[in-house]
Chains A and B, each alone.
Chain A
Amino acid sequence: MLATAEKTADDESREFQRGTPNSVLHIDDVHKSFSGLHALSDVDLEVLEGETHAIIGPNGAGKSTLLNVCVGRLKPDRGAVVFDGEVLTGKQPHEINQLGVARVFQTPEVFPDLTVLENIMVPALSKRDGHFRVNPFKDFEREASLRDEAVATAESVGLQAQLTAQASSMSRGDKRRLELAMGLIQHPRLLLLDEPTAGMARHDTNATIDLLKKIKEGGMTKVIIEHDMHVVFSLADRISVLAGGRIIAQGTPDEVKNDPKVKEAYLGEEQV
């Protein structure tokens, strides 16, 4: 039993191992099942400060479920997610974001009726003003410093020419870049990316890899779920392999590459 009515959140926090001192994200013995189907079983994972940690695995391995548990979309049946010493389990998605965890979705999730600039400015406002603030006399158009930052972020993902375009009119690839910009402008301590290059052409994929490498230099911690091995081995410092809801291997890209369990369960005959 994870939590009882008598226990406070602080008590709960103390129950879980918080990982090594430089760990940013610590997933502790997480278990999640849907109608008897075990999507995640005994998952333990540690993401260190500043690293890019890739989670790979075949379809249905539980990668997206794990990410959903991290951001509060799903509550685990057992275990907990600890971010920077704070238990995320049981918190609402907006609370988790306010703590410094941003997410880029597998299917682009933007605000289709808003312009590109507005799409990028909304997360920036959330970062600055918190989860709720009513001030009808604070004109959105006069947020000059946020606007400048949003323009710079749009430039960094190559959307500078589409600032006034409505997000609904963008291509899927551009929406992905927009979503990345929406995450980046919050300067999160932890950025969770669910297949950030899915549906992109090779040229755009390479541009995204370059961008994510650039962010890496800035020290942001990232967790990437990705099918494209080119992306994984270009970016990851460490890789965790998930199969059947369990972590079957963890280590550096070279270690994972040569792990026979990985070859058997995930890669099969495919050359890494």
Chain B
Amino acid sequence: MGNTQSRNDLLLLAGIAGFTLLAPWLLAPIGAAYPDLLQKFCIFGIFAIGFNILFGLTGYLSFGHAVFIGVGSYVSVWCFKLLTMNIIPAVALSVLMAGLFAAAIGYVSLRRSGIYFSILTLAFAQMSYNLAYSVLTPITNGETGLQVRAIRTNAELSLRDGDVRVIDQALGIQEVGVPITNLFGMKMSGYPGFYFCAVLLIICFYLAQRLTRSNFGVMLKAIKSNQNRLNYTGIHTRPYLIAAFVISGMYAGLAGSLMAVTDPIAGAERMQWTASGEVVLMTILGGVGTLVGPVLGAGLIKFAEQKVSSWNEGILNSFFSFLPESLQHFVVDVVSLFVGEGWHLTLGLMFMVIVIFLPGGLMEGFRRIMARFQKKPDETVAPDGAQQAAE
């Protein structure tokens, strides 16, 4: 049993790795093979995988995970401003800081469960969002957002007018024009940025896979299944929950950091409740508690956001040009409500359909299809079996 699962896990990991690394070619036919969108697939995939460690395994629904995205982004941009444009310190410190924030928020929020936990996390997120626009403006730069600038020429200038980048200066790295994030000299925009995110997505997926299959993962599933019973089994559930919350927060911090790596700017809008809600949608859409589901959900929502929101009446008219003119106008009028700025309507409908007909998300849909294919041979065997029994 263990060997079969190990083999299946390895195949799954290989499949995810193959698909991710070949995405620029595989997604070209549907027009999704440009670096900006591919980076988003990976970043939100990481965010959703991490969120699923908390929500999928323990059943604790956080409505405030976007805080850690914000923390990751701000810490990264500050690293770019103060230390170096090399992304390694920024990514490492972002993950660390997100973990510390998650430990503090988790310690308080996890004193409650169910809806009270969800509300507490939402309250923390909204508090952080508002703080970023008010008293924390010196750190977040308020509505303008935090961004990198050229190294200041005069030490008297404030950090708003120029960056420091002590490591880059000590190493004598010369900057020309707008500073760009790099990995030991390799620019992190475009496809190199995507491949960096892709490699981290694969590593994150592998870690989540190991964690799910570990003793720790089984304890988290037991918490979801019957937390009260687990207490009487000798397990202190609170440290397990805090650990899951911190790990999940670190994944979100990494995602936030990668947003800054691929586009070195950080704004408070990344911490808004809608961003926290989006990852819930991604996870439920793909399949809560599954390994692949959240990645799939993240990909689908980001694809819909980019493509469906860019469609307009002109595109729809050419698409439905095969229809008679009067019918074409009618269809375009109706469909145009669901595209462009109305793409959220499509997302809402998609979400409702999935939750009503496939409560286990897209992964449940795939399982049902697979089960149908697997049942067919049994059905053909059944009459023979019956005959044998009769004989």
Listed stretches A107-115, A208-216, A241-249, A251-259; interface member: A107-115
Instruction: Determine if B231 and A92 form an interchain contact, defined as CB atoms under 8 angstroms apart.
Output: yes
Listed stretches B24-32, B160-168, B232-240, B342-350; interface member: B232-240
- Give A113 to B218 CA distance when docked, in angstroms: 11
Contact among A98, A122, A136 with B210 in the assembled complex (CB-CB below 8 Å): A136
Tell me, yes or no, whether A261 is within 8 Å of chain B by CB: no
B-side contacts of A34, CB under 8 Å: none
Q: Mark A140-175, 1 if CB is under 8 A from B, else 0.
A: 111100000000000000000000000000000000
Tell me, yes or no, whether B367 is within 8 Å of chain A by CB: no
B-side contacts of A134, CB under 8 Å: 216, 240, 243
Nearest residue in B to A111 (C-beta to C-beta)?
B225
B-side contacts of A125, CB under 8 Å: 215, 218-219
Which of B2, B214, B219, B233 has its CB near the most chain A CB atoms (within 10 A)? B233
Nearest residue in B to A128 (C-beta to C-beta)?
B215
A-side contacts of B2, CB under 8 Å: 139, 141-142
- Give A126 to B6 CA distance when docked, in angstroms: 24
Tell me, yes or no, whether B221 is within 8 Å of chain A by CB: yes
Instruction: Determine if B1 and A141 form an interchain contact, defined as CB atoms under 8 angstroms apart.
Output: yes
Tell me, yes or no, whether B230 is within 8 Å of chain A by CB: yes
Task: State how many angstroms separate the Cβ of B237 from the closest Cβ of chain A.
Answer: 8
Task: State how many angstroms separate the Cβ of A64 from the closest Cβ of chain B.
Answer: 14
- Give A141 to B218 CA distance when docked, in angstroms: 10
- The DSSP consensus for interface residues of chain B is helix
- Give A125 to B213 CA distance when docked, in angstroms: 14
A-side contacts of B243, CB under 8 Å: 134
Instruction: Determine if B225 and A143 form an interchain contact, defined as CB atoms under 8 angstroms apart.
Output: no
A-side contacts of B233, CB under 8 Å: 94, 97, 122-123, 126, 182, 186
B-side contacts of A6, CB under 8 Å: none
Contact among A105, A137, A141, A182 with B6 in the assembled complex (CB-CB below 8 Å): A141
A-side contacts of B228, CB under 8 Å: 109
A-side contacts of B211, CB under 8 Å: 136
Task: State how many angstroms separate the Cβ of B219 from the closest Cβ of chain A.
Answer: 7
Tell me, yes or no, whether B217 is within 8 Å of chain A by CB: yes
A-side contacts of B224, CB under 8 Å: 113
A-side contacts of B221, CB under 8 Å: 111, 113-114
A-side contacts of B153, CB under 8 Å: none
Nearest residue in A to B218 (C-beta to C-beta)?
A140
Instruction: Determine if B217 and A109 form an interchain contact, defined as CB atoms under 8 angstroms apart.
Output: no
B-side contacts of A31, CB under 8 Å: none
Instruction: Determine if A132 and B232 form an interchain contact, defined as CB atoms under 8 angstroms apart.
Output: no
Task: State how many angstroms separate the Cβ of A132 from the closest Cβ of chain B.
Answer: 4
Tell me, yes or no, whether B136 is within 8 Å of chain A by CB: no
Instruction: Determine if B225 and A103 form an interchain contact, defined as CB atoms under 8 angstroms apart.
Output: no
Which of B6, B207, B215, B243 has its CB near the most chain A CB atoms (within 10 A)? B215
Tell me, yes or no, whether B92 is within 8 Å of chain A by CB: no
Tell me, yes or no, whether A129 is within 8 Å of chain B by CB: yes
- Give A111 to B215 CA distance when docked, in angstroms: 15
Tell me, yes or no, whether B380 is within 8 Å of chain A by CB: no
B-side contacts of A123, CB under 8 Å: 233-234
Tell me, yes or no, whether B374 is within 8 Å of chain A by CB: no
Residues of A participating in the B interface, judged by any CB pair closer than 8 Å: 71, 92-94, 97-98, 102-103, 105, 109-114, 118, 121-123, 125-127, 129-143, 182, 186
20 A-B residue contacts at CB 8 Å?
A93-B231, A94-B236, A97-B233, A98-B234, A110-B226, A111-B226, A112-B226, A113-B225, A114-B222, A114-B225, A118-B218, A122-B222, A122-B230, A126-B235, A134-B216, A134-B243, A136-B211, A140-B217, A143-B215, A186-B234
Contacts beyond the supplied A94-B231, A126-B235: 20 A-B pairs with Cβ under 8 Å: A94-B234, A94-B237, A114-B218, A114-B221, A121-B218, A122-B222, A123-B233, A125-B219, A131-B239, A132-B239, A136-B216, A136-B217, A138-B215, A139-B2, A139-B6, A140-B213, A140-B215, A141-B1, A142-B2, A186-B234
Residues of B participating in the A interface, judged by any CB pair closer than 8 Å: 1-2, 5-6, 207, 210-211, 213-219, 221-222, 224-226, 228-237, 239-240, 243
